Every structure is written in structure tokens, then in C-alpha cells.
Amino acid sequence: MENIELLSNKLERALLTLDRDKAEEIIRETGKENTAIIISGELVSYTLQRIGEAWEEGKLALSQVYMSGIICEELIDHILPPASPQRKDQPKMAIGVFEDYHMLGKRIIYSTLRASGIELMDLGGGLSVNTLVEIVKRENIKILLLSVLMLPSALHIKLLKEELLGIDVKIIVGGAPFRFDDQLWKEVGADATGKDTTEAIALISELIGVKA
């Protein structure tokens, strides 16, 4: 995409000022020369990654990352509906909150990935080991993203991993305990961790073999 820096700057400004109309106008204008999948996979994905990076660097707050993701998800859903054949051909993927109901982190990653053209199931919150094992088997989930807020929940991922032994599924974890202890994801046997939206997009793109 030409002028991606310029367009991304404009889109970022619109998102951070919660100017949904302006964001829509930028996406509509870009759509005159680009397909929906290019807009989501390049412009929107790139912009949300930059916003995620700015949060990581302490320049932006989580509420801004969340609101940007929500606006983009809604706009992209208009031009690229969930069932669109243009959406990326990918392994089956799901996201959920493990053992508690603090949904924000999960929602941010869900919105960001969907706005970037990646489709995934939202499993909600309060998920137990048994529920997840059943869903993974029934839905043939290949990539499972789990968000946790509490340390005990993070430690219980080890139990889930044990229950899923021998099943072809990658577990990617995120959330506060993993941000405060960078060795914890290995300790619980996760396949990877992502600190923010930027890392989530990069990880998923690598796993499904597309350009981030």
C-alpha cells in the first residue's frame, strides 16, 4: 500500500480522538484503490500495532488501545464481514478469559486481530480447564489464546496444558501476571506469550503464515 505512513498517521489521530466518522472516511477513501483485506491486513493492522507499541512504551493508555480496537473492528466488519471469503484462510482459532471475568485484555486482542482480518471465536470468560478441553476437542481449535488477570489463574494453565497433552493445539497466553514475570509463560508450559497487541498480531501472523 502506498502512503501507508501518512494514512496510518491520519487514522491513528482519528482513533485517539475517538473520531469514528473521520476513521470511517479514511478507510472509505483508502478502499477506492485497495481491497478490504489489504486495508485490514495492512493499514488497520499497522496502525493498531503502532498504538499497541505506544502503550508498551508508556505513551498511551489501555483505554485508548481498547477504544481504537473497537472502532476499527466495527468499521472493518462493514467492509469485510466475518463470513467474507476474502478473510484469511487460517487454522481455527479461539480466545477466552481463563478462570475469571476480567475481559478487557481479551477484548482488545480479539478486536485487534479481527480488525486485522484474522477471524477467531470468542469464548467469553470464566473458562475452566474442563470447559476449554471440551471446546478445543469439539471445535478442533488449533490456536488458543488465553487471557488471565490473576496469578493463580496463570499458574493453572499448566493443568490445562497437561489435559491437552497430545492434542495439536498451540496455547498463547497474555495478561498482567505474564507482564510482571517474563519467565512465567514458560513455567506454565505455554507455547508463547504476547505482551500487547503488537506482539499478538506478530505471533498469530507467524503461526498462520501471513505477513504482519
By CB under 8 A, name the binding residues for other proteins. 18, 58, 60-64, 66-67, 99-104, 107, 126, 150-153, 155, 176-177, 179-181, 183-184
Beta carbon of residue 105, minimum distance to other proteins (angstroms, whole number):
9
Beta carbon of residue 194, minimum distance to other proteins (angstroms, whole number):
17
Phi, psi of 100 (to 5 degrees): -140, -175
Nearer to other proteins, 140 or 180 (CB): 180
Nearer to other proteins, 41 or 105 (CB): 105
Nearer to other proteins, 56 or 139 (CB): 56
Residue given cell 507499541 in the structure block: 53
| Other residues' Cβ atoms within 10 Å of the Cβ of residue 19 | 14
Beta carbon of residue 70, minimum distance to other proteins (angstroms, whole number):
8
Sequence-distant (≥ 6) Cβ neighbours of residue 122 within 8 angstroms:
94, 95, 96, 106, 110
Beta carbon of residue 78, minimum distance to other proteins (angstroms, whole number):
19
The Cα–Cα gap between 142 and 168 comes to 6
Nearer to other proteins, 62 or 167 (CB): 62
- Find, among 191, 183, 139, 186, the residue nearest to 165 by Cα: 191
User: For the stretch 150-176, what's the b/e string if a residue is b when 16 or more beta carbons lie within 10 angstroms of its beta carbon?
Assistant: eeebbebbeebbeebeeeebbbbbbbe
The Cα–Cα gap between 141 and 86 comes to 21
Beta carbon of residue 34, minimum distance to other proteins (angstroms, whole number):
30
Beta carbon of residue 75, minimum distance to other proteins (angstroms, whole number):
17
Q: How many residues does the chain have?
A: 212
Nearer to other proteins, 39 or 149 (CB): 149
Nearer to other proteins, 46 or 110 (CB): 110
